[in-house]
Structure formats: C-alpha cells, structure tokens
Amino acid sequence: MKTNFRTLLPAIALAFAGAAQAQTLRIGLAEDPDALDPTTARTFVGRIVFAALCDKLVDVDEKLNIVPQLATSWEWSADNKALTMKLRNDVLFHDGEKFDAAAVKFNIERHKTFQGSNRSGELRPVTSVDVVDPLTVRFNLAAPFSPLMAALADRAGMMVSPKAAQAAGAGFAAKPVCAGPYRFVERVAQDRIVFERFPQYWDKGAVNFERITYTPVPDATVRLANLKSGQFDFIERVASSDIAGLKNDSRFKVTRITEIGYQGITINIGKSDKAQANPLGKDARVREAFELSLDREGIVQVVMDGEATIGNQWVAPNNAFYAKGLPPPQRDIAKAKALLQQAGVPNPSFTLMTPTTSDAQKIAQVVQAMAKEAGFDVKIQATEFATSLNLADKGDFEAYVLAWSGRADPDGNIYSFVGCKQPLNYAGICQPEIDEQLNAARTASNVAARQTAYEQVASRVLKDRPIVYLYHRNWLYAYNAKLSGIRSIPDGLLRVQGLKLN
C-alpha cells in the first residue's frame, strides 16, 4: 500500500475527530491523581475521579445541603452522640457483593485503622459502628460532632467492597471496587484512568456514557487546546486568562463555581521566635495596617482576571456560616499609615514566602506593591512548595501565601488552622476562647447555634489576623456545548450522573 504523508494526515485527523467516541466522556484533569483508595487518598484531583467511581453515604447539593446517596435518611440521638442511618436496599458493589450495614461498619473501621489512612482524623470522634439491622447502621460518638455529616459526604463516606478490600489489602488502590456509577477498567500512571458503566448501578437511568477516560494534562494551555481540537469533552481548572477567549466561541461552555476553599496570607504570630522578632508578627496593629493597605478587588483583578469572589473569612460570603456583621474592610492607606505610626514602626519590613505557583507569585507581587504605599517593605521569597510547607511547619517564616482547597463543613476550613497546636496552625495562634468556640461549633446540633459560635471565632480571628483571607477562587470548567447536565456543586467535583452529549 502506498501512503504518503499528505494523505495520511487528514486520515489521522478524521480518526481523532471520530464519532466512534461518542459513548466515551473524555475529561482533562489538571494533575495526575494519587492512590485510588478512598481511605488513603489525599488530593483534590483524586476526588474528581472518585465522584464517578465511589458512591458515598451522603452527598452535598448546590447549596451545600447534605442529601441522600447510599443512605436514604438519618437521625441524631437526643444527646447528639449517636447517628442512625437507613441505607438503600438496591445497591451492589462492582464485584456483585451486596451493600449493607455490615459493609458500612467494615468501611468506617477500615478508614479508622488502615495503615496510612488519611481518614482517621476526620472520623476520630466515631468510637464504634453498630449494625442495627441489615439496612440500618448506627455511628457512636465520643462527643457530639456536627462536621461528621460533611465528612461522610466526602471520602470518609465512600464505600468500598469489603470482600475486594480484604482480598487486595494494601494493593486495593491498583484495582478499586466501589459502588459508584462507573467501575474501574485500567490506570496508566500520568496517562489515563479508564472507567466503564456499571450496569447494576442503583441509579442507572442517570448514567448515559459507556465509558469515562480521565487524562491528566498539567499545562492549562495544552488542556484547553485539547478541548478545542475535540480530544476532550470537559476540562477542569481552566486558566482565568483563557476565559475571555472561550466566551466568544459557541462550541464551548464555561461553568464557574465559587470554591469552598480560600486564598490567604498566613502570618507567623506565635509559631516560633520569629514571630516576636518581626513587627508584623508581634503587633496586631501592624497586621491591621497591612490588611488595610490591600485592595482585594484589585488583587482579584490582577491575579485572577476577576474570576474570584473577595472575602475576609474562611468561608465565602455566600456561605451560611459567614459572619455577615464582619464584611471585608475597604482599603484605607491613611488609616494604615496612622496605625503604623501608633505602633512606632512607620516602615516595617517582612518576608513573604510564596510557593512557586504562578497565582501565588502574582499575589505576592501585587501585595508587595499595595503594601508599599502604606510604608511596608515586603520582601518576596519564592520557595518550592514541599520546602515551603516544611518551613511553615517549623515556623521558619514571617508570612506565607497559602491556599486551602476547602471542606464542605466550615469546621474543615478553620479548626486545624486556628485551634491551639493543631497541625495546620502555621500562624501559631493559641487562644482558649477561640478553642472553646470552635468546640462549641462542633458540638452544637443546630445551624443557628453553630453560626453564633463561628461569629465569636470570626470576631477574634479577624481582629488578631493569624490569616489575612483574600478571596475565594472560581472553579472554572470548560466543556463541549453539546454536553448537558453539568451541576455546579461548590466542592468543585464533577458529578457524572445526568451528564449527556446531545
């Protein structure tokens, strides 16, 4: 057969544009996920993949309400120390095993005791799980813990097949067996993850694609090029600078969701001796002046092309637990200068450590320029992420640009950051009053009581400023305009149920 290059190229092009792939949903991810085992998984990107593979006891909806998934209903005991859940009766794991209360007990115990589990912290208050009957399970808690439901709406609530997990042991991540709409086919590290439709899925009417492939493409430009050339149907985390170009292209649609996490600057106010050696760490007035020197709208425009919501708390202003009485302060250079005069340091200097991601570096540069107008001399120290984390943990920093991907329950965004001696408390803040209110918010059973407790925390944290919260990014998805059924859930994870290519 005689084939020359000129005839070959269009042929290849045709093969790629192929209609044969209509039954496959092709998704471009920003990173390669880590282990595909809900117990040991640690990354945000992994949760996107899990959303198609592993159903959870409960889910969250567009407004972050807890809604049924594998559990149909639930009830707290009068003392809030026991949670009873009713389970669906028609659920099978991908290996054909039946999902029941014993499976829930197995999974929670696996999360709690598995070597290398990343879930044991989230489930620490759960002391035991009782199988009341095959479709009823009871979680017994050492103390009331309202964030539990949100944890069960995430990886801690994902159910794997007990039989498969016992057989595979530590090798489970290589061939995960869950109860989600799709089952695992293969994974080639850094290349692709392939799932196929699970025919016995309990909600199979909502599943329209035969297969899903996830391909990690770290470069945002290349990810977008793949969408535009028709190799992907859906890409996550579009660069904000590319949104303008997509708006004018009717072949694609863009969805934006305000993240449940935040971008902020952590200040060392007590983590190490460095805190007292620097006016920013030592004097709350200097920190107030620093915050007043910042124009959050300006930062969002420059760093995110406007694709973020400004904020000054650990939850976004649209969240039910945002303390509405404490809105973001306006920029006020005169007041900032006056505060610095009062503090006796008209030209304080500090080092702002930033990971080497482009967003974080842009933030540092904009902050440097803005704070300079109030008299601050900000030195930027760009540091590779793993190293910066280590320095932060040792308290070997003055200020640190740090993002948090967020948790559905506000507790996950604040407890570990300002609770005394907690693992993410890089600021080194330790106030018994804050701890008391954080714990009150954990044990309170109704929303109003939790709101009150978080208002108390906010009033202290926003005054002391261990973290200066800046904004909440938009999760930007872009996809083929023919794809319908995309839901905007604030956790930023793509739900595959209901997706359809028209």
Site for other proteins, rule CB under 8 A: 8-13, 15-17, 32, 34-35, 37, 40, 42-44, 115-118, 120-121, 170-171, 173-174, 188-191, 215-219, 221-222, 225-226, 228-231, 384-387, 389-390, 393, 404-405, 416, 423-424
- Strands (DSSP E) contained in 429-493 are 467-480, 483-484
If the CB atoms of residues 228 and 487 are measured against other proteins, the closer one turns out to be: 228
Provide the minimum distance between the beta carbon of 189 and other proteins in the complex, in angstroms, as a whole number.
6
Provide the minimum distance between the beta carbon of 185 and other proteins in the complex, in angstroms, as a whole number.
14
If the CB atoms of residues 280 and 429 are measured against other proteins, the closer one turns out to be: 429
Provide the minimum distance between the beta carbon of 165 and other proteins in the complex, in angstroms, as a whole number.
14
**What is the C-alpha separation between 209 and 198, in angstroms, rounded?**
10
If the CB atoms of residues 91 and 408 are measured against other proteins, the closer one turns out to be: 408
If the CB atoms of residues 22 and 385 are measured against other proteins, the closer one turns out to be: 385
Provide the minimum distance between the beta carbon of 205 and other proteins in the complex, in angstroms, as a whole number.
32
Of the candidates 418, 97, 370, 406, which has an alpha carbon nearest to the alpha carbon of residue 259?
Answer: 406
If the CB atoms of residues 134 and 423 are measured against other proteins, the closer one turns out to be: 423
Question: Quick check: 289 and 337 in contact, CB under 8 A?
Answer: yes
Provide the minimum distance between the beta carbon of 223 and other proteins in the complex, in angstroms, as a whole number.
8
Tally the C-alpha atoms within 13 A of residue 367's C-alpha that lie toward its C-beta: 28
Residue showing tokens 């996107």: 48
Residue 437's SS3 state is helix
Question: Quick check: 308 and 473 in contact, CB under 8 A?
Answer: yes
Provide the minimum distance between the beta carbon of 482 and other proteins in the complex, in angstroms, as a whole number.
17
Handedness of CA 483, 489, 494, 500 (dihedral sign): negative
Residue 286's SS3 state is helix
Report how far Cα 445 is from the mean position of its chain's Cα atoms.
Answer: 24
Provide the minimum distance between the beta carbon of 129 and other proteins in the complex, in angstroms, as a whole number.
20
Provide the minimum distance between the beta carbon of 429 and other proteins in the complex, in angstroms, as a whole number.
16
If the CB atoms of residues 101 and 193 are measured against other proteins, the closer one turns out to be: 193
**What is the C-alpha separation between 26 and 216, in angstroms, rounded?**
11
**What is the C-alpha separation between 138 and 159, in angstroms, rounded?**
16
Of the candidates 97, 220, 107, which has an alpha carbon nearest to the alpha carbon of residue 156?
Answer: 107
If the CB atoms of residues 74 and 114 are measured against other proteins, the closer one turns out to be: 114
Dihedral class, residue 168 (left if φ above 0, else alpha if ψ from -120 to 50, else beta): alpha
**What is the C-alpha separation between 439 and 161, in angstroms, rounded?**
34
If the CB atoms of residues 216 and 270 are measured against other proteins, the closer one turns out to be: 216
If the CB atoms of residues 225 and 380 are measured against other proteins, the closer one turns out to be: 225
Provide the minimum distance between the beta carbon of 142 and other proteins in the complex, in angstroms, as a whole number.
16
If the CB atoms of residues 37 and 295 are measured against other proteins, the closer one turns out to be: 37
Provide the minimum distance between the beta carbon of 141 and other proteins in the complex, in angstroms, as a whole number.
19
Token pair for 169: 């042991």
Please give, one letter per residue, the 3-state secondary structure of 134-169: CCEEEEEECCCCCCHHHHHCCHHHECECHHHHHHHH
Provide the minimum distance between the beta carbon of 391 and other proteins in the complex, in angstroms, as a whole number.
8
**What is the C-alpha separation between 212 and 231, in angstroms, rounded?**
13
Residue 419's SS3 state is coil
If the CB atoms of residues 191 and 373 are measured against other proteins, the closer one turns out to be: 191
**What is the C-alpha separation between 447 and 454, in angstroms, rounded?**
10
Instruction: Report angle CA 63, 160, 191 to the nearest 5 degrees.
Output: 85
**What is the C-alpha separation between 196 and 460, in angstroms, rounded?**
50
- Strands (DSSP E) contained in 162-251 are 182-188, 192-197, 211-216, 234-235
Provide the minimum distance between the beta carbon of 5 and other proteins in the complex, in angstroms, as a whole number.
10
If the CB atoms of residues 353 and 371 are measured against other proteins, the closer one turns out to be: 353
